[in-house]
């Protein structure tokens, strides 16, 4: 099976810190970069939305008494820092990459521009999107779904620490089984937390198919884009 044409990869900030409790884990970052480089070599156009949880989470700040809009703005800045860190790691691996942010910060990255992003992708450049949606009260799941729809991605890929969506928590229930495929209606009926509500609704509206997979498995990203049995495919069409 031929690889898909264009993907949007959602990578959490927590994933970047690997086994550490904060910041960036060099070996983990190198593994992710290697997987991205593999699919770029196949001719797949790659957009990436990165979270900020390894540095700051807006919801956590709000729980400690901070104004939620202020806390979310800080979280958006954390995602910009992560976008820059991932850009640097990709560049050092020889990957052509650009950063676009939803928050204007001069001399840091390009302001988000859909047409410019598509031109970068068509030229073979990876585009890392920072700053979330640019608005408080929205998660980077929603930012990922939004950017995927805007750039016309064939697949939205949610990178996690587990190899798909299960009928129950596999750590607590030995009988839990992984869904190979899952429809939107099945996910809703079984109350499966695949994405946050706003992101899930946007995927359904735009008929944007989703794959949830374990990014810590070597070669998993390539297997997903090649259509192999990796992770869980959630279909909305």
Predicted confidence at residue 237, as pLDDT, reads: 65
13 is in an annotated binding site: yes
Mean pLDDT of the chain: 93
Q: What is the pLDDT of residues 142-187, one digit of tens each?
A: 999 999 999 999 999 999 998 899 988 888 888 889 999 998 888 8
Q: 6-235 sits in which CATH class?
A: alpha beta
Residues 236 and 203 sit within 8 Å (Cβ to Cβ): yes
How many helices (H) and strands (E) would you count in the chain?
Answer: 9, 9
11 is in an annotated binding site: yes
Q: Is 216 among the annotated ligand-binding positions?
A: no
Pairing relation of β-strands 45-50 and 126-130?
parallel
Nearest alpha carbon to residue 170 among 81, 91, 232, 85: 232
28 is in an annotated binding site: no
**Which tokens sit at 76?**
């958006």
- Judge whether 161 is annotated as a binding position: no
For residue 52, say whether it is annotated as part of any ligand binding site: yes
18 annotated ligand binder: no
Strand partners, 160: 214
Ranges of residues in the chain with a pLDDT under 70 are: 1-2, 237
pLDDT of residue 79: 97
* pTM summary value: 0.93
53 has binding-site annotation: yes
Q: Is 57 annotated as a binding residue?
A: yes
Query: Is 166 one of the annotated binding-site residues?
Result: yes
170 is in an annotated binding site: no
What region does 124 belong to: left with phi over 0, alpha with psi -120 to 50, or beta? left
How is residue 44 written in tokens?
Answer: 């797949």
Question: Any known ligand binding at 135?
Answer: yes
The residues, any chain, with a CB within 8 Å of residue 176's CB and separated by 6 or more, are 166, 167, 168, 169, 170
111 is in an annotated binding site: no
136 among annotated binding-site residues: yes
């Amino acid at each position: 099976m031929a690889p898909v044409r264009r993907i949007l990869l959602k990578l959490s900030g927590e994933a970047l810190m690997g086994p550490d409790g904060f910041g960036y884990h060099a070996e983990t970052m190198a593994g992710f970069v290697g997987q991205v480089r593999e699919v770029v070599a196949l001719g797949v156009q790659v957009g990436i939305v990165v979270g900020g949880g390894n540095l700051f989470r807006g919801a956590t700040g709000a729980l400690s008494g901070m104004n939620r809009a202020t806390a979310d703005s800080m979280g958006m800045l954390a995602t910009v820092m992560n976008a820059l860190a991932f850009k640097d790691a990709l560049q050092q691996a020889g990957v052509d990459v650009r950063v676009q942010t939803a928050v204007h910060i001069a001399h840091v990255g390009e302001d988000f521009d859909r047409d410019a992003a598509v031109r970068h992708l068509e030229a073979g450049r990876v585009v890392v999107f920072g700053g979330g949606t640019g608005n408080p009260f929205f998660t980077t799941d929603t930012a990922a779904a939004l950017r995927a729809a805007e750039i016309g991605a064939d697949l939205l890929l949610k990178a996690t620490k587990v190899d798909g969506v299960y009928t129950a928590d596999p750590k607590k229930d030995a009988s839990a089984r992984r869904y190979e495929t899952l429809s939107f209606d099945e996910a809703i009926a079984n109350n499966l937390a695949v994405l946050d509500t706003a992101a899930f609704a946007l995927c359904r509206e735009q008929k944007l198919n989703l794959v949830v997979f374990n990014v810590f498995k070597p070669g998993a990203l390539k297997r997903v884009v090649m259509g192999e049995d990796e992770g869980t495919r959630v279909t909305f069409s």
